[in-house]
Amino acid sequence: MKPSAKTSRNAVAADHGALLRSGAGFIDVRAPVEFAKGALPSAVNLPILNDSERAAVGTRYRQRGQQAAVALGEELVSGDVRATRIEAWAAFAHSHPQCTLYCARGGLRSRIAQAWLAEAGTSVPRVEGGFKSLRQFCLRTIDEAAASLKLIVVGGRTGSGKTAVLAHAPASIDLERLANHRGSAFGEQPSPQPPPVGFENALAVEMLRLSAPGTTVALEDESRQIGRLAVPATLYQAMQAAPIVVIEASLETRVENILTEYVLEAPNPHEHLPASFARIRKRLGGTRHQEIGELLTNALSQGDPDLHRQWIRRLLTDYYDPMYDYQIAAKQDRIVYRGDANAVAGYLGGCVVEVAR
């Protein structure tokens, strides 16, 4: 399993910022168990050793040293197994001509994969320092960008359309999209949230791409926790000091937005809504939780949008609005603009253009 001496195509990619900014793609040759703990948004996991092979090689290394471990790796990944893995790497490289490959620390696994690919006629640079160095770069990027980026926070009551406005801003970071969670008790998505490492890496790439001088980046007004993930401390602190634009929307507009997103267009509201509603029992209080819960149950059983509007209206006025009013009261001195969704979207566009000039 030693790298072949026949190939001179052993290029090393050391500009981590350029690699991450390009989105050209990474071949991650770490084992699936490593990849599952966190990866990069443009990476595909095509391991040189699967989980069981990696465990066996690791055990051999601890018992008998590196040479014996490499010999076992050669034995485990040979013949058709080796050919299949090279074929998968080559296929990705041909569809992503600017891709690079990495292992955990830029050591044997990435060197061997690079050599095997070269022997098969495909040249792919490997990342200097591997995933560890990319991860460290991502963490530095978050801290540095949080200190240097000009941020503006989009606020507004639940259902006011903050996410839609954010999507139309010239430069924005959608933390809820990156976290795969809508940021409330009802925010859980059908697919799981990424691991913290993956969330932070994806965030770093977004921040890196928006780091041009003069850019103002819009983010939604969030609590630090988004589901089970946490906004990095440096970014959250910067958000707490940033100016705020507030979307103002009528109760009926917000009810319709919630109805559309969480009921009419939701994949499985009959399971998702009761489970989400149960999470706020203590905060809502027993009596109100029972009353609104009965409205929700009736609406789900009847399938009537008007019945859904009843429990949504109560939940907004009895729970979300008072909580928002309390939180925004402490931020009044940071509010620089108020308006409906279209007006705020226009303000954000003008704000960014003005700063860029």
- Closest among 270, 273, 277 to 303, alpha carbons compared: 270
Q: How far is CA 69 from the centre of its chain?
A: 36
Q: How many CB atoms lie within 10 A of CB 54?
A: 20
138's enclosing H/E stretch is: helix 130-148
Query: What Å distances lie between residue 293 and 187, 251, 282, 297, 308, CA to CA?
Result: 18, 20, 13, 6, 11
**Alpha carbons 197 and 144: distance in angstroms, whole number:** 18
DSSP string, 28-65: E-S-HHHHTT---TTEEE--SS-HHHHHHHHHHHHHH-
Q: Find the catalytic residue in 99, 103, 138, 351.
A: 103
Query: What Å distances lie between residue 211 and 77, 132, 137, 159, 202, CA to CA?
Result: 43, 23, 15, 30, 15
By the 8 A CB rule, do 158 and 322 touch? no
Residue 105 in tokens: 């620390």
Query: Is-catalytic flag, 103?
Result: yes
Cα–Cα–Cα angle for 154, 278, 227, nearest 5°? 40
Those residues whose C-beta lies under 8 Å from the C-beta of residue 290, and which sit 6 or more positions away, are none
DSSP structural state of residue 332 = G
User: Which residues are identified as catalytic?
Assistant: 103
